[in-house]
């Protein structure tokens, strides 16, 4: 009887042991990856060693990859990221779609070889289809063709798109999309111009 109970208790604990072992293995894997990056990353120009420092969201996404952080942690991180989104002071989300097109096409900025005094691009076509006239585009992200035409431009729709452009990790925690506002890649004006590319009825995205 006693043996039976002990066996039962032990087997009940096995999943816990497995979870702890899995976490230790991932911690170790991440520590090794970090050490390799520390040893091989060459700091140059604006791309300093600080580029290797992960914030809480990035660290959690790395730790639990290819899965997701546990629900409670994920909820806290999502809320933190969403709360940091800055909305336009004048309440106006839309700039000029022509300038937005230039931002979407521009892939330079933030690299060691780029001039930090120049504005960065959004490189949207690297991951998304937008203007169908642009035949070269990546497919990591969904097609944004007819984005505004399909959704209209009510306040909640614009607000959500603004939030996602600012920091997708406030909506999809381990998203691969760059955090254009959250990580100071694009200025408020550039974000408004890109929003116009997505929503202006005259934008080639909505034809």
Task: Select from 137, 162, 180, 199 the one that contacts ligand HEC (CB under 6 A).
Answer: 180
Q: What binding mask, one character per residue, do residues 128-147 give for ligand HEC by CB under 6 A, x or -?
A: x-----------xxx-x---
Decide: is 152 part of the binding site for ligand HEC (CB under 6 A). Answer: no
Minimum CB separation of residue 201 from ligand HEC in Å reads 17
Cα–Cα distances in angstroms (integers) from residue 104 to residues 113, 127, 155, in the given order:
20, 10, 23
Decide: is 94 part of the binding site for ligand HEC (CB under 6 A). Answer: no
Other CB atoms within a 10 A radius of the CB of residue 16 amount to 9
Q: Which is nearer to ligand HEC, 54 or 126 (CB)?
A: 126
Minimum CB separation of residue 181 from ligand HEC in Å reads 10
Listed residue (151, 190, 158) closest to 91, CA to CA: 158
Helices (H) and strands (E) in the chain, counts: 7, 0
Task: Select from 80, 127, 134, 146 the one that contacts ligand HEC (CB under 6 A).
Answer: 127
* Cα gap 46→64, rounded to integer Å: 30
* Cα gap 114→80, rounded to integer Å: 31
User: For residue 61, what are the contacts with CB-CB under 8 A and spacing of at least 6?
Assistant: 68, 69, 173, 174
Decide: is 150 part of the binding site for ligand HEC (CB under 6 A). Answer: no
Minimum CB separation of residue 27 from ligand HEC in Å reads 25
How many residues bind ligand HEC, per CB under 6 A? 22
Task: Select from 60, 61, 78, 104 the one that contacts ligand HEC (CB under 6 A).
Answer: 104
């Amino acid at each position: 009887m006693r043996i039976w109970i002990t066996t039962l208790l032990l087997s009940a604990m096995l999943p816990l042991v497995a979870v702890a072992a899995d976490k230790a293995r991932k911690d170790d894997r991440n520590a090794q990856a970090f050490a390799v990056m520390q040893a091989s990353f060459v700091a140059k120009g604006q791309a300093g060693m600080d580029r290797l420092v992960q914030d809480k969201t990035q660290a959690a996404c790395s730790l639990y990859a290819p899965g997701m952080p546990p629900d409670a942690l994920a909820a806290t991180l999502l809320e933190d990221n969403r709360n940091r989104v800055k909305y336009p002071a004048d309440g106006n989300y839309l700039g000029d779609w022509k300038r937005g097109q230039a931002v979407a096409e521009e892939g330079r900025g933030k690299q060691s070889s780029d001039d930090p005094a120049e504005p960065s691009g959004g490189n949207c076509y690297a991951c998304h289809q937008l203007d169908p006239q642009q035949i070269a585009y990546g497919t990591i992200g969904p097609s944004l063709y007819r984005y505004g035409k399909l959704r209209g431009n009510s306040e909640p729709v614009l607000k959500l798109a603004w939030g996602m452009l600012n920091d997708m990790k406030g909506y999809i925690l381990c998203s691969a999309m760059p955090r254009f506002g959250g990580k100071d890649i694009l200025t408020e004006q550039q974000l408004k111009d890109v929003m116009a590319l997505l929503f202006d009825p005259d934008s080639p995205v909505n034809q």
